[in-house]
Structure 1
């Protein structure tokens, strides 16, 4: 399980964009969004660096939570 802090994720549209970005690299990923904590929890077999990178590409810099 990977937890990332995503400071620019502030609304439902952001959460949708983050989820969609993750699903582009792992369609089977389980994605949980917590907007109040600006945190995303991802259950995936995909490399953590690849998941982080796809969020950066989508405009959402992140760091380990």
Structure 2
């Protein structure tokens, strides 16, 4: 899954985003690029779960369209 996170502006933000996702799936693989404000996530969690945990962490996300 890919998401755009408008307010992920630095690597500190990227670490917070990764930690939030891994709080619901410890095996999730998260590739974050603060410059483009995009993340790629490989997880067993649903898109809805990821969006909810990111919003809760203060990093609301929009799904990236292919």
Q: Per-residue CA shift, 1:9-45, capped at 9, x if unaligned?
A: 0011100100000000000001000111100100011
Q: What does 1:17-56 correspond to in 2, within 5 Å?
A: 17-56=16-55
Aligned to 2:58: 59
Whole-angstrom CA distance in 2 between matches of 1:9 and 1:24: 18
Q: TM-score, normalising length from structure 2? A: 0.93
Gapped runs of 5+ residues in structure 1?
none
Q: Which runs of 4+ in 1 moved over 6 A?
A: none
Count of aligned residue pairs for this structure pair: 64
Q: TM-score, normalising length from structure 1? A: 0.95
Q: CA RMSD in A?
A: 0.6
